[in-house]
Structure 1
Amino acid sequence: MKNETFKASPTLLCIPDISGFTKFMTEVDFKVSSQIIPSLLNNIIYTNSLGFKVSEIEGDAILFYKQGVLPEFDDLVDQCKLFYKEFYEAMFAIASDFSKERKAHKTPDMLGLKIIVHYSEQIGMAQVGTHIKLMGEDVIVAHRFLKNSLKENEYLLFSDATMNQYSEKEMSSALNWHVVKQSSIVEKDLGEIPFSYIDLTPLVPTGN
């Protein structure tokens, strides 16, 4: 099958990324960690209720994308909150299942989740074998958001390019559960790229 390049089109990118991954893989027995991480990534994929498609699984992250009509902003926020809550529920279950393994029972204390949401008018797709690879500058930018200087380890980050697709009323209603802060990254060729973010830790399920 020949590689086929598709015309660039508006695309919503979403990257749930597991924080603490490197330390976890170092400190937890590989036989156990090699079961836990795929389980958590599968949990994220199966929690996808907005019809995101998976472009790539990147070790500790999943690159989701969605083309066509954008979801309502409150639905998008609810999806991200669901990713986070179900991720923690899965970690609590894992901590119970692996309670006798070295440090594995501390999984909820060692790992976390950050979620990047970025919108672009120009994302291309290339078919590589049986997989669809996303192409374009904004794919790089979306990943660059993960390399920010925030002190928080768990957050929901929206690029300004995403926020600009929605009204102020939609956003204030959907993000009224915690403080929204602003920051930015600086890219050598693109300059300063602003974003908004919100701490996800208040959503950690209780009672576990």
Structure 2
Amino acid sequence: MLNVQRGCLVLADIAGYSEYLSGVELTHCQDVLADLVGTIVAQTRGSLRLAKLEGDAVFCYGPDGTGDGSMLLALVESCYFAFMGRREHIRRNTTCQCNACRTIDRLNLKFLTHHGEYVIHQVAGSHELVGRDVVLAHRLLKNSVTEKLGFRGYALFTLASVQRYSLDPQALRMAKHADSYQDVGEVIGYVLDLEARWKEEEDRRAVYIPPGKGIELDQRELPAPPAVVWDYMTSPQKRPLWQGSDRVDQRNPRGVAGVGTQVHCYHGAMVIKEEILDFRPFRYLTFRADWGKTVGLMGTLLITMELTPAADGGHTRVSCRVVHERGLKQRLLLPFVEPRLRSVIRTVMDNLSRLLSSPPDEHN
């Protein structure tokens, strides 16, 4: 009997590749493609499962229960930002004058995100996803988004995925879009302009405590990829599992976690308040923290949690750095509260390390 599953279906497709391929040297363009596809796959590791590499596209899926709307959007945006960053790095640093290297900026990245049913079919020792929704997701890669909206780099979320992951198209500034297909009729979706988001991120002032600045409270390697660590650090459902809080409430201006998100962590009668100031999925986040009596009269602090993938891709180096936010009083007090801060951070990071080392079914 077929085991029908439900989940998220995500296709990341390198836009403009066919045109790019027709005018460049084959050897170099294959190197470029392998580099960019590898960047996409690395970003999805731990958050989605790789179904198949399809030439210039990556097909991934995630069974229900493996992520929420905030994580899905963080994944899509982080993949796009990593792709664009890698593309620009190749363009700026190459000394090769071949067409493949000189025209790499013609390439962009588009996503299709759908939610539906699928069956995992075993073929010759490997698995393949089949089903009507799998076919539909692939069909939707051929759409009129660029012609109608002018977007080159974008994410098209079907109505099914928007509803399943409780995404707010208006808050996220998504454009409504519809295409008709002969065999399935009209399909409605919402489109996020990722190229515009990339430019916003490039222009936005970073709030980041670099290595060597402030006080490094903890640094360690955790036994999970950056996407998984990020999920546990930012999910209000998962944070109590390792922080020891009774509950975590989160208010998100865009409907998903990001800059401006307000967090309240409840520990008995004590409430720890946080505001996210910088949010770079799977890389780092910086937040303002008011830890109340935990650090006495210290007041608010700025904390950066930075994630760096280990060479094997399956582990993550996490660094926690803190600075005082303002004033002579805070600067003088910080050395005195440092031992308490360090103890708190190391305790919760020990908890997180143990949690990530345990089987997934024990994470509840």
Alignment TM class, shorter chain as reference: 0.7 to 0.9
Letter in 1 for 2:131: G
- Distance, in Å, in 2 between the alignment partners of 1:101 and 1:82 is 30
Letter in 2 for 1:126: H
Residue 79 of structure 2 corresponds to 83
Map 1:120-131 to 2 at 5 A: 120=116, 122-131=117-126
- Residue by residue, what CA displacement relative to the aligned partner does 1:14-47 show, whole Å, maximum 9, x if unpaired? 1110001011112221111010101110110001
Residues 9 and 60 in structure 2, CA contact (< 8 A), matched pair in contact too: yes
Residues 70 and 162 of structure 1: CA distance in aligned 2, closer, same or farther (over 3 Å): farther
Runs (5+) with no aligned partner, structure 1: none
- Distance, in Å, in 2 between the alignment partners of 1:192 and 1:203 is 28
Residues 116 and 145 in structure 1, CA contact (< 8 A), matched pair in contact too: yes
Greater RCO (CA < 8 Å, at least 6 residues apart): 1
- Residue by residue, what CA displacement relative to the aligned partner does 1:92-146 show, whole Å, maximum 9, x if unpaired? 1221343323231331x210000111000x2111011232111011111101111
**Aligned to 2:65, which of 57, 64, 69?**
69
Query: Under a length normalisation based on structure 2, what TM-score does the superposition of the two structures give?
Result: 0.51
- Distance, in Å, in 1 between the alignment partners of 2:122 and 2:198 is 38
Which secondary structure does the structure 2 equivalent of 1:147 belong to?
Answer: coil
> Does 1:47 find its partner at 2:47?
no
Residues 94 and 105 in structure 1, CA contact (< 8 A), matched pair in contact too: no
- Distance, in Å, in 2 between the alignment partners of 1:85 and 1:175 is 22
Deviation of 1:175 after TM superposition, in Å, equals: 7.0
Which secondary structure does the structure 2 equivalent of 1:28 belong to?
Answer: coil
Larger Rg: 2
Deviation of 1:183 after TM superposition, in Å, equals: 1.3
Residue 99 of structure 1 corresponds to 95
Residues 47 and 66 in structure 2, CA contact (< 8 A), matched pair in contact too: no
Residues 31 and 166 of structure 1: CA distance in aligned 2, closer, same or farther (over 3 Å): closer
Residues 155 and 201 in structure 1, CA contact (< 8 A), matched pair in contact too: yes
- Distance, in Å, in 1 between the alignment partners of 2:46 and 2:67 is 8
Residue 9 of structure 1 corresponds to 5
Residues 166 and 66 of structure 1: CA distance in aligned 2, closer, same or farther (over 3 Å): closer
Letter in 1 for 2:38: N
Map 1:1-208 to 2 at 5 A: 6-103=2-99, 104-107=101-104, 109-120=105-116, 122-151=117-146, 152-167=151-166, 171-172=167-168, 176=171, 179-204=173-198, 206=202
Root mean square deviation, CA, Å: 2.0
**Identity between Structure 1 and Structure 2 (%):** 23
Query: Under a length normalisation based on structure 1, what TM-score does the superposition of the two structures give?
Result: 0.86
Q: How many residues align?
A: 196
Runs (5+) with no aligned partner, structure 2: 204-364
